[in-house]
Structure 1
Amino acid sequence: MIAFSTAARQVRFVVNFDPVTHKRFQLDGRGSTRTAAQRRDHWEQHRRQRMRAMLLVIKAKFESVESGVETFEQAFLANVVTSSGATVYERIAEDLAVEYQTGAVRPLMLGAPQ
């Protein structure tokens, strides 16, 4: 997890890692069983890759805000922490999924006034 406060907002990013016992770490590319040390090394590589990806995402968001492509709120809204302790994404994800599943979302009108 990476969390910070800025622009009068609390922001939280959480990245989940597969456990070292996950089947993806058990076998190598040839189908041979990895040793415990090999599984741990492969898991560490997986963890570092995910953390690098998260760092790139956050840097890109700050660059987007800095260059004026979008506001801080637009870039980070999904990760802003609400008064309940949940992020905005966590609060709306289920309802939004239902809207799309039921067809309640209006069709995208390109060029329509905003």
Structure 2
Amino acid sequence: MSRRYAADTSVPMDRSISEVRTTVRRHGASEFAHMESDTQAAIHFTMRGRRILFRRAMPDPKDADFTKTETGRDRSASAAETAWEQACRSRWRALALVIKAKLEAVEVGIVVFEDEFLANTVPPGASVTFGEAVREDMRLAHEKRELTPLLPYLGGSSAA
């Protein structure tokens, strides 16, 4: 199993959030919001006339990953909190990386903004992203149908 990105980061969560704010503002965001609940976190910004939302589950502090040791023993409350905070810091670093990478890819012309942020775009009048809205439909479609072979997409044939 590979190590998680920023698994050992010491960067505080607030600094990662501030970094995202600075990054999106530098790329033209006109609005920025950061929201948190006990188990959810979100970054919401407006850019190029689009509302963009990154909503992510955050680690549950009561999860055994934090409350138990690798051998199954109970961790102290302070050790559990330390492990949970580390996991949260890691998630925020990963989210900052994803947003930076997407904006950099747009800036250098690898992708276009509307395509790169489509799944995270909130349509006017809606409270969910396009990605959230179609996720279940996609799952059902994939259960019912087989994928088309890749070769025909390249103009070739699927015959061997």
Q: TM exceeds 0.5?
A: yes
- Who is 1:56 aligned against? 97
Deviates more, 1:98-107 or 1:62-71: 98-107
Distance 1:104 1:91, change over 3 A: farther
- Distance of 2:147 and 2:73 partners within structure 1: 48
1:85 aligns with 2:127: yes
Match of residue 17 from structure 2: none
Q: Name the structure 1 match of 2:60.
A: 19
Distance in 1 between residues matched to 2:79 and 2:101, nearest whole Å: 33
Question: Is the Cα contact below 8 Å between 1:99 and 1:105 reproduced in 2?
Answer: no
Amino acid at match of 2:126: S
What is the aligned partner in structure 1 of residue 81 from structure 2? 40
Give 1 or 2: higher strand fraction. Answer: 2
Residues 95-106 of structure 1: matches in 2 within 5 Å?
95-103=137-145, 106=148
* Residue ranges of structure 1 left out of the alignment (5+ in a row): none
State the TM-score, normalized to the length of structure 1. Answer: 0.90
Give unmatched runs, 5+ long, in structure 2: 1-41, 156-160
With 25-34 and 88-97 compared, the bigger mean Cα shift is at 25-34
- Range that drifts further, 68-77 or 103-112: 103-112
What is the CA-CA distance between 1:28 and the residue it aligns to?
2.2
Residue deviations 1:11-66 (CA, integer Å, cap 9, x gap): 00012112111111112234432111111110000000000001100000001100
For the aligned residue pairs, the C-alpha RMSD in angstroms reads 1.5
Tell me how far apart the structure 2 counterparts of residues 32 and 95 of structure 1 sit (CA, whole Å): 42
* Count of residues in correspondence between the two structures: 112
- For residues 78 and 144 of structure 2, the distance between their equivalents in structure 1, rounded to whole angstroms, comes to 48
Shift of 1:88: 0.4
Relative distance call for 1:52 and 1:61 in structure 2 (3 A) is: same
| TM-score, reference length from structure 2 | 0.65
Letter of the 1:99 partner, please give it.
Answer: A
In the alignment, is residue 3 of structure 1 matched against residue 10 of structure 2? no
Aligned pair partner of 1:65 in 77, 101, 106: 106
